[in-house]
């Protein structure tokens, strides 16, 4: 199958339900209805799926790298059961005050993905539920879309993202349906 492009997904609020208290255990990782089928459809249509996720709960001591690996294993297994595949997950463990290069809106996570799976501005997308996701994509030079799931509706209401300049979809399933026609 020919590669159609890469779709990079934020995790919390795009793939799974978000929580202001963080996703600290695999039992708290609950997929948004339709998101796993959307990932599978993208994969089956020839898109490589990657994830770029800020995970400051690590630095806050809310969970360990082992727990994060267990959460991501649950994600991988759930996607596989739907007929999809996630090629790569990049995460930032830092707090905002650490001023690292990987925490979105900086582009370090996208650079990590690009080092393994070269990105193409003509075919690739970043899908997020926050302005920081979109800023990272735009700074890196790939297209971006907002989903209203997770924090997306709040971002729109607060004026941090504009429907005038950004494609906006109800959720990942809506984006996928649009992209695949």
- What SS3 string covers 147-180? ECCCCHHHHHHCCCCCCCCCCEECCHHHHHHHHH
pTM here is: 0.96
* Number of domains the chain contains: 1
Assign 18 a pLDDT band (cuts: 50, 70, 90).
very high
pLDDT at 31: 98
What gap in Å lies between CA 129 and CA 102, rounded to an integer? Answer: 18
Active site residues: 10, 12
Tokens (6 digits) for 171: 């959720």
Could you list the residue range(s) of the whole structural domain that residue 28 is in?
5-180
pLDDT at 76 over 90: yes
Output the domain CATH number for residue 109.
3.40.50.1000
pLDDT at 2: 83
Tokens (6 digits) for 156: 């729109």
Q: What is the rounded radius of gyration, in angstroms, for the C-alpha atoms of the chain?
A: 15
């Amino acid at each position: 199958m020919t590669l159609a492009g890469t779709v990079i997904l934020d995790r919390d609020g795009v793939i799974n339900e978000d929580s202001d208290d963080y996703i600290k255990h695999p039992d708290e990782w609950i997929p948004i209805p339709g998101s796993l089928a959307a990932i599978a459809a993208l994969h089956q249509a020839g898109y490589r799926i990657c994830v770029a996720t800020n995970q400051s709960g690590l630095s806050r001591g809310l969970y360990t790298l082992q727990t994060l690996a267990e959460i991501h294993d649950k994600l991988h297994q759930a996607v596989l059961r739907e007929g999809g595949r996630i090629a790569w997950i990049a995460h930032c463990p830092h707090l905002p005050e650490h001023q690292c290069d990987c925490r979105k809106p900086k582009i370090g996570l996208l650079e990590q993905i690009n080092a393994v799976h070269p990105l193409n501005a003509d075919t690739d997308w970043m899908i997020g539920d926050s302005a920081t996701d979109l800023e990272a994509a735009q700074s890196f030079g790939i297209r971006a879309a907002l989903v209203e799931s997770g924090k997306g509706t709040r971002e729109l209401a607060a004026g941090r993202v504009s429907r005038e300049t950004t494609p906006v979809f109800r959720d990942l399933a809506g984006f996928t349906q649009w992209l695949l026609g």
